[in-house]
Amino acid sequence: MEGLEHSLWIVDAFNRVFGPPIAAILGLAGIEVSDPLHVVPDYLVMALVVAVTLAVVLGLLSRRLTLVPGGRQSVVEMIVQLFEGLVVDTVGPEGRKYLPVIGTVGLFVFGCNMIGLFPGFMSPTSKLNVTLGCALVVFFYYHAQGVRAQGLKYFKHFMGPIPALAPLMIPIEVISHFSRPVSLSMRLFGNIFAEELLIVIMASIIPFLLPLPFMAVAIFTSIIQSFVFVLLSCIYIAGAVAHEEEHST
């Protein structure tokens, strides 16, 4: 796998331009870089490409908003309504305040899943570092929202319904919560990595026709995995902000 690193033209171009300055900055911090032209790994470059592309495309689509939406505005509203409906159905009407983070993570994961289907690119989510990073964002965010909604009382649910069960419930709850980012990251990574590897193998056998059915399946898989990631994120947020109400009923 090491030989495949930095084999993409866009990664090589990025490192030629930004590699030496980044290596110099790292050198000032005491981190020696043996090869400045390979300092930034492929998945970071591709994740940056996805983030910039989403920002530019959505920025252009949302320009000059009107009361009667046109074609571009309708696309933006459809995307917003899709995420809003999912958040509201899972968390409740108050879940709209979580829409910016959920929508951003969902679009980023979807973009990372899909970009690998274009020749000359790869899916950043086929790397565990990227999927784990996304999962950790969700992990820290829903705990932060739980504390924000309930204060320090949020941590009382780790002890179970009665204090006598605390020695048993605390380890179970801690393991359960820490398994969530592992599950989120591994599920997404495994599916995207497997589909990319399968397409590459098929393309090496018959370059043109054989990979097409697998690419169609990969599009469906990318959509499903993005949906599952967002749905589980909403469920975790709903559980974090609703514990106080659940214990009081």
pLDDT in tens, 176-226: 999 999 999 999 999 999 888 877 777 777 766 666 777 788 889 999 999
Structure tokens at 172: 């179970």
Amino acid letter at 181? P
Minimal CA–CA distance to 213: which of 194, 195, 190? 195
In terms of phi and psi (left: phi > 0; alpha: psi -120 to 50; beta: otherwise), the region of 46 is: alpha
pTM of the full predicted structure?
0.87
99, with CB counted inside 10 A (0-12, 13-18, 19+), is middle
Alpha helices in 62-165 (DSSP H): 71-91, 99-115, 128-150
Confidence of residue 6 (pLDDT cuts 50, 70, 90): very low
Task: Indicate the average pLDDT of the chain.
Answer: 87
Q: What is d(CA 83, CA 211) in angstroms, rounded to the nearest whole number?
A: 31
Residues 83, 102: contact at Cβ < 8 Å?
yes
In which element (H, E) is residue 43 found?
helix 42-61
Residues 19-42 pLDDT 10s: 999 999 998 888 888 888 889 999
- Long-range contacts made by residues 155-162, C-beta under 8 angstroms, separation at least 24? 156/243, 156/247, 157/243, 157/247, 161/247
CA distance 215 to 129: 24
Supply 226's token pair. Answer: 């993005």
Measure CA 217 to chain center. Answer: 20
- Looking at the chain, the whole-number percentage of residues with pLDDT higher than 70 is 92
Give dist(CA 158, CA 20) in Å, integer: 48
Per-residue pLDDT tens digits for 131-166: 999 999 999 999 999 999 988 888 888 887 788 888
Do 230 and 104 form a contact (C-beta atoms < 8 A)? no
Question: What integer pLDDT is reported at residue 247 of this predicted model?
Answer: 44
Higher pLDDT, 242 or 96: 96
Give the span between the Cα atoms of 196 and 126, in whole angstroms. 8
Best CA proximity match to 129, nearest among 13, 234, 5: 5
